[in-house]
Amino acid sequence: MSDSAQAPVIGPSPKRRWGLVLVGAAGGAVVALYAAAAPFVAPALRRVCLPFVPATSAQVENVLQLLSGRRGALVDIGSGDGRIVIAAAKRGFRAVGYELNPWLVWYSRYRSWREGVHHNTRFYISDLWKMQSLEEKLQSELKGSARVIACRFPFPSWIAVRESGKGIDTAWLYDAKSFKTTAKEDSD
């Protein structure tokens, strides 16, 4: 074999290797971006669009004002990043949050641990769109002493006993005795 003859190259050339690395990195970045963004975008693609909009500090205060003088359990449906659940736990409530977005649930769990209320809070990943009408579920399952607070979206067929705040920060308080009575009258 002469010195001028080169040994055959086995495997991809250095240029081709860098091309494969770049394609793999770009593909991995797209998959990671999709995994991170999908839970935030998916709610906007539903028939009823309810994207994540964090509770304002005024809204949290309005909810706490409606809860004043009460103790016990609190459930936040569509808890987002857990602001209301954590604030209620700081006031002595055993608080639970249900949220569709797993990233927000994990963040809420972290925040409750960081704020020192993780013993009084629980967060669950749950798709509430797969359950029966929320109004019907609450009417059938809640005790007569329960109260329901709605933020941003009032219940269409219930009459609020109190209201706190204005505009996007409004919170409505419903007494289970009144909406359970309304449900009985409607069924008669």
The pair of three-digit structure tokens given for residue 121, joined into one six-digit string: 């809070």
Q: Is residue 147 part of a domain?
A: yes
Is residue 143 located within the same domain as residue 174?
A: yes
Band of residue 115 on the pLDDT scale cut at 50, 70, 90: very high
Strands 73-77 and 121-125: unpaired
- Burial category of 83 from C-beta neighbours within 10 Å (exposed 0-12, middle 13-18, buried 19 and up): buried
Q: Is residue 79 part of a domain?
A: yes
Q: Is residue 2 part of a domain?
A: no
Is residue 25 located within the same domain as residue 113?
A: no
Distances (CA, A) of 150 to 8, 23, 51, 102, 143: 73, 48, 16, 22, 17
Is residue 30 located within the same domain as residue 110?
A: no
Q: For the segment 39-72, what is each residue's pLDDT rounded down to a tens digit? A: 666 655 555 556 778 899 999 999 999 999 888 8
Is residue 36 located within the same domain as residue 62?
A: no
Is residue 86 located within the same domain as residue 18?
A: no
Q: Is residue 4 part of a domain?
A: no
Query: 137 and 112 in contact (C-beta within 8 Å)?
Result: no
Place of tokens 């990195």: 25
Q: Is residue 111 part of a domain?
A: yes
Is residue 98 located within the same domain as residue 135?
A: yes
The CATH number of the domain where 80 resides is what?
3.40.50.150
Q: For the segment 67-82, what is each residue's pLDDT rounded down to a tens digit? A: 998 888 888 888 999 9
Mean pLDDT of the chain: 81
Which residue range forms the structural domain that includes residue 18? 14-45
Query: 151 and 63 in contact (C-beta within 8 Å)?
Result: yes
Is residue 87 located within the same domain as residue 168?
A: yes
Q: Is residue 5 part of a domain?
A: no
Residue 1 clears pLDDT 60, i.e. is over it: no
The pair of three-digit structure tokens given for residue 77, joined into one six-digit string: 């449906």
> How many domains is the chain partitioned into structurally?
2
Query: 102 and 39 in contact (C-beta within 8 Å)?
Result: yes
Q: Is residue 134 part of a domain?
A: yes
